[in-house]
Amino acid sequence: MRLNKFLAHSGAGSRRKCDDLVFQGRVTVNKSVIKEPGADIDPEKDCVMVDGEQVELKKVYTYIKLHKPAGYITSRKDPHYSRTVMDLVPRILDVRPVGRLDVDTTGVLLMTDDGDLLHKLTHPRHEVEKKYDVWLKWPPNSGDPETELSKGIILENGDRVKGDAHPQNSKKTHYLVVLREGKKREIKRIFRYFGTQVIRLHRFEFAGIRVDDLAEGKWKKLTPQEIEHLKSLVNTSST
């Protein structure tokens, strides 16, 4: 890669400004001053510094939201399932799912190649909100989700879970559930604790991001505002 192109992509300035930095002798490659903007460098191996400060390429990350349909597993590949969410997005994007949704669960699924943000959005410490519509086969007959879940309950394997559950109909067979951490099949296990069975599960919001504007199976890139919002939730600086 040409040195001036590398500097521009690293955020050192415009291509013209980067040329000037080189001409002024302010740029070194492997501790040697280089005064030729078109000099060829290897971004993976060479140490480039401007005024004594190392500069590196800024990777342009991809952030998308997918309206996951039922029947797709949230994995890059799985020997037990022929269809994964990776089949719904172009392979060239090389993104990974942010968290998981069960194969029969629908709704918003974020995907990115920004490993740092992915890790932070799924770490329990940040308490990122996930909101679900939950439909039940029959009303809870062992306890009250609305009062007990907010205080915290202990599931069959010893996991302690806490969240909010708000009935959406008089029969109490439809709930809006808000969780701030993710455990495997958590919602299904929560309602099993309350003596009922989930028959349909839809995540309509993740970290404030929705897919109301997308048909099932469709995806789109996040807006700059949405990306900034996600980073602000987990105190990740913008790049």
98 lies in some domain: yes
Confidence label for 200 from pLDDT (cuts 50, 70 and 90): very high
Dist. CA 2–CA 21, nearest whole Å: 14
pLDDT at 17 over 80: yes
List the alpha helices (DSSP H) in 108-234: 115-122, 145-148, 186-193, 224-233
pLDDT at 58 over 80: no
Which residue range is the domain that position 7 belongs to?
3-54
Identify which has the larger pLDDT, 21 or 115: 21
Contacts of 18 (CB under 8 A, 6+ apart): 3, 4, 7, 8, 12, 37
The pLDDT assigned to 239 comes to: 46
Considering the domain architecture, whether residues 110 and 162 belong to the same structural domain is answered as yes
- Report residue 156 as tokens: 């069959």
- Burial of residue 48 (CB within 10 Å: 0-12, 13-18, 19+) is buried
27 lies in some domain: yes
Considering the domain architecture, whether residues 127 and 159 belong to the same structural domain is answered as yes
Find the catalytic residue in 78, 102, 104, 213: 102
Considering the domain architecture, whether residues 23 and 123 belong to the same structural domain is answered as no
170 lies in some domain: yes
pLDDT at 142 over 80: yes
Mean pLDDT of 74-103: 88
**CA distances for 185 relative to 12, 25, 188, 189, angstroms:** 46, 59, 6, 6
Three-class DSSP labels, 22-47? HHCCCEEECCEECCCCCCECCCCCCC
Query: Quick check: 187 and 132 in contact, CB under 8 A?
Result: yes
Confidence label for 5 from pLDDT (cuts 50, 70 and 90): confident
Instruction: Out of 16, 34, 54, pick the residue that ends a domain.
Output: 54
pLDDT at 152 over 70: yes
Considering the domain architecture, whether residues 123 and 150 belong to the same structural domain is answered as yes
Mean pLDDT of 27-47: 94
Strands 219-221 and 153-154: unpaired
- 7-11, 61-65, 73-77, 137-141: lowest mean pLDDT where? 7-11
237 lies in some domain: no
The pLDDT assigned to 194 comes to: 97
- pLDDT tens-place string over residues 125-134: 999 999 999 9
239 lies in some domain: no
Three-class DSSP labels, 69-101? CCCCECCCCCCCCCCEHHHHCCHHHCCEECCCC
217 lies in some domain: yes
Q: Is 102 a catalytic residue?
A: yes
CATH number of the CATH domain containing 169:
3.30.2350.10
Considering the domain architecture, whether residues 70 and 136 belong to the same structural domain is answered as yes
The pLDDT assigned to 13 comes to: 77
* Residue located via tokens 């060479």: 46
Confidence label for 82 from pLDDT (cuts 50, 70 and 90): confident
134 lies in some domain: yes
Confidence label for 236 from pLDDT (cuts 50, 70 and 90): low
Considering the domain architecture, whether residues 124 and 214 belong to the same structural domain is answered as yes
Considering the domain architecture, whether residues 49 and 104 belong to the same structural domain is answered as no
121 lies in some domain: yes
CATH number of the CATH domain containing 39:
3.10.290.10
Q: Supply the mean pLDDT for the chain.
A: 92
Dist. CA 235–CA 116, nearest whole Å: 11
Considering the domain architecture, whether residues 177 and 115 belong to the same structural domain is answered as yes
- 55-59, 92-96, 126-130, 153-157: lowest mean pLDDT where? 55-59
Considering the domain architecture, whether residues 15 and 91 belong to the same structural domain is answered as no
Dist. CA 1–CA 93, nearest whole Å: 22
Query: Quick check: 109 and 101 in contact, CB under 8 A?
Result: yes
- pLDDT tens-place string over residues 90-134: 988 888 899 999 999 999 999 998 888 888 999 889 999 999 999
Dist. CA 207–CA 74, nearest whole Å: 18
Considering the domain architecture, whether residues 19 and 70 belong to the same structural domain is answered as no
- Report residue 5 as tokens: 């192109």
pLDDT at 205 over 50: yes
**Total domains present in the chain:** 2
- 108-117, 146-155, 159-168: lowest mean pLDDT where? 108-117
